Amino acid sequence: MKKFDIPLHYKSPIISKVKAKRKLEDPRKKDFSPTHLNFGNVTFIISRHFGFCYGVENAIEKSYKAIQENPDKRIFLLSQMIHNPDVNNDLLSQGVRFIQDTDGTQLIPWDEIESEDIVIIPAFGTTVEIQELLESKGIDTVKYNTTCPFVEKVWNRSAKLGDLEHTIIIHGKHKHEETKATFSHSKENAPSLVVKDLAETKYLADYILGKLSTEDFLQFFDGKLSKGFDPLKDLKRIGVVNQTTMLASETQEITDFLRDTMIEKYGEASIKEHISDTRDTLCYATNDNQSATLELLNTQADLAIVVGGYNSSNTSHLVELLEPKFPTYFIKNKGEILSGDRINSFNIHTKELEEKSDFLPSKEHTNIIVTSGASCPDAVVDEVIQKLLELKEAPITIDQIEL
């Protein structure tokens, strides 16, 4: 796989060594067991896969090249390049400006963007409408387009499904930048609909099976349907694609549920005429990170620390997997670890930051799971580990640790 030119301050002494050793021992990534680092009175159980994925490293490399190659030009990002506050703040500190926020709210009017400006398209991609707007202004939308190739793979799969006259069912969060981009591209080729989870999928299935009225269906999915969507004729042939950062197991569950629904509606013999096999749209990095996190559930630990941006979908899903078994703390960086055994942890259910006391157990030896989202720099994870070592007053230093 290609090696990217990533700024040194995103790399780290601990995590880099761990990943290098695992790559040497397991080049085909078949072993999902975690790495154990014993510092005497605390052991860190580090996930096999975490941190920057291919798409994120590609986006970072292109974004920093844009800064280096255009010192005399204004540089903009359509929105946050990735969902990590440290990376985005670093770009802002170097003069990059965001045109929109993550919800699509306009921060800089389009009228202020000129043909001489540099506009970076983030890893999530962008909508057909925004790309056409940029091109109409004379903006180069190719050179600094950092759209993840695995997101583009979903778009290509959607186009093929459209050619086969299938309606596109997108498993994603309809307000997320990636899902908005995918929806924008898919509706160019086929009727499209966004479902957030299995509950919404079951509502869709009930309509397909004739248990709901068309009026109720249209009201329920208002804002999540392509223009002119006709459920009476557009749900006879379907294919499922996903926002690449969703839970892979949930996407598969949704696909399987809809397949069973179409069998109930049309029969097993003709099922291939009514739903397409789209397992090839699942992102490898999402699969690997989630598989490695599931492997962590087989370990014994006192708590889990998940590091990443609070608006990061893939990171929140790691929390979702871990919190049923372990006390799990979701933090953006070391700054959330406070004095006196206190920690600020983001609650993925209430969407609020909560201060927790006595998060480190009072025992002779503590086992701590550590992982991070695909948009989190290794250096940030490294700093979290070092902060925890200080709190535990670990007798073994980073320089002394044996991998």
Domains of the chain in sequence order: 8-53+285-392 (3.40.1010.20), 54-136 (3.40.50.11270), 149-282 (3.40.1010.20)
Distance CA 72, CA 277 (A): 49
CB 64 within 8 A of CB 355: no
CB 328 within 8 A of CB 319: yes
Q: What pLDDT, on a 0 to 100 scale, did the predictor assign at position 1? A: 57
Please report where in the chains the tokens 């990095």 appear, as a residue: 285
Whether residue 343 is predicted with pLDDT greater than 60 in this model: the reply is yes
Distance CA 284, CA 248 (A): 10
DSSP-derived secondary structure letter, 9? G
Q: What is the pLDDT of residues 269-314, one digit of tens each?
A: 999 999 987 766 767 778 888 899 999 999 999 999 999 999 888 8
Distance CA 33, CA 174 (A): 34
What is the average per-residue pLDDT within 67-82?
93
Q: What pLDDT, on a 0 to 100 scale, did the predictor assign at position 213? A: 96
- What's the sign of the alpha-carbon dihedral 348, 350, 351, 356? negative
Question: Is the pTM higher than 0.85?
Answer: yes
Q: What is the pLDDT of residues 362-387, one digit of tens each?
A: 899 999 999 999 889 999 999 999 99
Both tokens assigned to 71? 């010192």
Please report where in the chains the tokens 């498993």 appear, as a residue: 171
Q: What pLDDT, on a 0 to 100 scale, did the predictor assign at position 19? A: 87
Which CA distances in Å does 320 have to 249, 290, 312? 12, 10, 12
The Cβ of residue 200 has, within 10 Å, a number of other Cβ atoms equal to 18
Sequence letter at residue 254: I
CB 278 within 8 A of CB 252: no
Strands (E), 229-351: 238-242, 275-276, 303-307, 328-331, 337-338, 342-347
Which CA distances in Å does 190 have to 115, 201, 220, 316? 32, 19, 20, 30
What is the average per-residue pLDDT within 131-142?
96
Of the pLDDT bands very low, low, confident and very high (cuts 50, 70, 90), residue 243 is very high
Q: Are strands 35-38 and 42-46 parallel, antiparallel or unpaired?
A: antiparallel
What is the average per-residue pLDDT within 7-29?
86
Sequence letter at residue 52: F
Q: What pLDDT, on a 0 to 100 scale, did the predictor assign at position 397? A: 83
Active site residue 25: no
Least confident of 9-18, 62-71, 227-236, 245-254: 9-18
Catalytic residue among 116, 132, 135, 178: 178
Q: What pLDDT, on a 0 to 100 scale, did the predictor assign at position 280? A: 61
* Cα-only R_g, the chain: 23
